[in-house]
């Protein structure tokens, strides 16, 4: 136990552990040392961002996807999904509604839908940036190549979320037909070079992975130094090849949130919808372990059910951007402070 506490102290002090040390930590945590880890993560988050929890409005712009990721409910071969795509005006309307509610970051996420060419996205981004001077635009639209990433950045996009999903190359390629692990990682480096605030992250509980295996993902994050990290439990979807798998736990997710806060002290770290879906208190527990972002849903109400990445995905109550007052109250009640400004990473400046 003393050895594990001293590993946590080293991680807190140096923001670094070797892969072997990370494995040892992950394999040997008990209730006591895990509480100690979470407390250190809370202290570090407080030092960097105080008690702030940044709110972002999430707009799911399309559930049409050309890819077939084995875990994802909107994969191309799931013919049971009723498909939708928002028009430019619908997207602008969602942002307008969000702006009036007070949101100042809009996250445009979607399946890999080739309708959304650079030209269409550039029009949307430019219109948003002209209309609202104090907002940040985040994109989460998959791998698009250097030229496209560059054009979208020049149009005004500020951030890009692209999880690496798993640092296990063999597993990555098994779960992502026709995609390459190298390309995923290369895309993340390109996004950083261009100047985006970059978010990576991974799924917890993919088949065959044990807690110690996430040492690989943590090393990758430490190397990439993203500005944001999105991790969440994998939750099986009944119309996917992984439907009979168990999925990830809130417990492991929270442990990993705390380790990430210590590895990357200034990272923006969401308590994800998936975490809030498997544990009604998941987000509050996440904040206490170092998470400092939430992304309530701003999509049109009649589309939310169709963006069904996993079984039971929540989009009402605390997950719904319209419930801002309720969300703010819950954040305050758990001892944190809701913040609606753009909330950039403290180390980032636009090039
Ligand atoms: N196409 C974009 C991309 O690949 O980055 C963004 C859309 S994708 C649906 C957004 C995220 O959903 C993925 O990064 C993945 O981690 C998550 N996701 C998909 N299926 C999931 C599941 N069954 N459980 C939890 N998260 C899931």
pLDDT, tens only, 163-175 = 999 999 999 999 9
Q: Is 165 in the pocket of ligand 1 (CB under 6 A)?
A: yes
Which whole number is the average pLDDT over 215-227?
98
User: Does the CB atom of residue 229 touch ligand 1 within 6 A?
Assistant: no
Distance 58 CA to ligand 1 centre (A): 14
CB 261 near ligand 1, within 6 Å: no
Inter-CA distances, 73 with 112, 217, 247, 309, Å: 13, 23, 14, 4
Q: Where does the pLDDT of residue 29 fall: very low under 50, low under 70, confident under 90, or very high at 90 and above?
A: very high
Is residue 285 predicted with pLDDT exceeding 90?
yes
Taking each helix axis from N to C end, the angle separating 214-224 and 19-28, rounded to the nearest 10 degrees, works out to 130
C-alpha 196 to ligand 1 mean position (Å): 20
- How many whole angstroms from 6 Cα to the centroid of ligand 1? 35
* Averaged pLDDT for residues 301-322: 93
274 lines ligand 1 (CB under 6 A): yes
Residues 6+ apart with CB under 8 A from 295: 55, 56, 57, 58, 107, 270, 272, 273
Cα gap 98→56, rounded to integer Å: 9
pLDDT at res. 24? 98
Where helices occur in the chain by DSSP H, the ranges are 2-14, 19-28, 31-49, 88-101, 118-131, 146-155, 169-175, 181-194, 214-224, 250-263, 273-278, 282-288, 301-304, 324-333
Q: Is the CB of 234 inside a 6 Å radius of any atom of ligand 1?
A: yes
Q: Average of pLDDT values for 336-342? A: 97
Rounded to whole angstroms, the Cα distance separating 264 from 245 reads 31
Name the average pLDDT for the chain: 97
User: To 5 degrees, how large is the angle CA 138–CA 228–CA 123?
Assistant: 10
For residue 150, the CA-to-ligand 1 centroid distance in Å is 23
**How many angstroms is it from 72 CA to the middle of ligand 1?**
6
**Cα torsion angle, 173, 202, 109, 239, sign:** positive
pLDDT band for position 282 (cuts 50, 70, 90): very high
Q: Tell me, what's the pLDDT at 99?
A: 98
Q: Which bin fits 136, alpha (ψ -120 to 50), beta or left (φ > 0)?
A: beta
Cβ–ligand 1 contact at 247 (below 6 Å): no
| Pairing, β 228-229 against β 293-294 | unpaired
pLDDT tens per residue, range 108-138: 999 999 999 999 999 999 999 999 999 999 9
Question: What are the residues whose beta carbons fall under 8 Å from the beta carbon of 258, sequence distance 6 or more?
Answer: 34, 37, 38, 40, 41, 289, 290
Which residues are paired to 159 by β-bridges?
138, 197
Question: Quick check: pTM over 0.85?
Answer: yes
Note the pLDDT tens digit of each residue in 51-81: 999 999 999 999 999 999 999 999 999 999 9
DSSP three-state, residue 189:
helix
How wide is the angle at C-alpha 160 spanned by C-alphas 351 and 262, nearest 5°? 90
Tell me the CA–centroid distance for residue 140 and ligand 1, in Å: 10
171 close to ligand 1 (CB < 6 Angstrom): no
Residue 351 reports pLDDT greater than 90: no
d(CA 114, CA 118): 10
- Return the CATH fold of 2-339: TIM Barrel (3.20.20)
Q: Tell whether ligand 1 has an atom less than 6 A from the beta carbon of residue 309.
A: yes
pLDDT of residue 318: 86
113 within 8 A of 89, measured Cβ to Cβ: no
Query: How confident is the model over 32-46, as pLDDT tens digits?
Result: 999 999 999 999 999
Q: Which of helix, strand or coil describes residue 207?
A: coil
Please say if the pLDDT value at position 1 is more than 90: no
User: Other C-beta atoms within 10 Å of 73: how many?
Assistant: 23
pLDDT at res. 123? 98
Ligand 1 centre distance from Cα of residue 57 (Å): 17
237 lines ligand 1 (CB under 6 A): yes
Q: Please tell me if the CB atom of residue 143 comes closer than 6 angstroms to any atom of ligand 1.
A: no
């Amino acid at each position: 136990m003393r050895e594990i506490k001293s590993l946590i102290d080293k991680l807190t002090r140096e923001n670094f552990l070797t892969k072997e040390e990370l494995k040892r930590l992950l394999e040997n945590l008990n209730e006591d040392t895990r509480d100690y880890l979470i407390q250190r993560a809370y202290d570090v988050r407080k030092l960097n961002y105080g008690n702030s929890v940044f709110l972002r409005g999430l707009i799911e712009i399309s559930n049409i996807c050309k890819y077939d990721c084995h875990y994802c409910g909107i994969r191309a071969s799931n013919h049971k999904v009723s498909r939708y795509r928002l028009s430019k005006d619908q997207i602008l309307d969602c942002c307008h509604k969000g702006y009036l509610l007070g949101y100042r970051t809009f996250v445009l996420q979607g399946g890999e839908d080739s309708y959304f060419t650079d030209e269409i996205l550039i029009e949307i981004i430019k219109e948003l940036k002209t209309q609202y001077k104090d907002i940040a635009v985040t994109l989460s639209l998959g791998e698009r190549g250097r030229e496209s990433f560059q054009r979208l950045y020049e149009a005004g996009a500020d951030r890009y979320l692209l999880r690496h999903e798993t640092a296990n190359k063999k597993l990555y390629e098994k779960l992502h037909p026709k995609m390459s692990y190298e390309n995923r990682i290369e895309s993340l480096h390109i996004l950083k070079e261009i100047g985006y605030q970059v978010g990576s992250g991974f799924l917890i509980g993919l088949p065959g992975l044990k807690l110690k295996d996430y040492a690989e993902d943590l090393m990758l994050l430490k190397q990439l130094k993203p500005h944001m990290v999105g991790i969440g439990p994998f939750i099986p979807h009944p119309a996917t090849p992984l439907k009979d798998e168990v999925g990830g736990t809130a417990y492991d997710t929270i442990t990993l949130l705390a380790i990430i806060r210590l590895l990357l002290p200034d990272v923006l770290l969401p308590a994800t919808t998936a975490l809030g879906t498997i544990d009604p208190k998941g987000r509050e527990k996440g904040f206490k372990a170092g998470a400092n972002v939430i992304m309530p849903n701003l999509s049109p109400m009649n589309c939310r059910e169709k963006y069904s990445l996993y079984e039971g995905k929540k989009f009402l109550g605390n997950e719904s951007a319209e419930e801002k007052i309720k969300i703010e109250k819950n954040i305050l009640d758990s001892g944190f402070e809701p913040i609606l400004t753009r909330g950039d990473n403290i180390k980032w400046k636009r090039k």
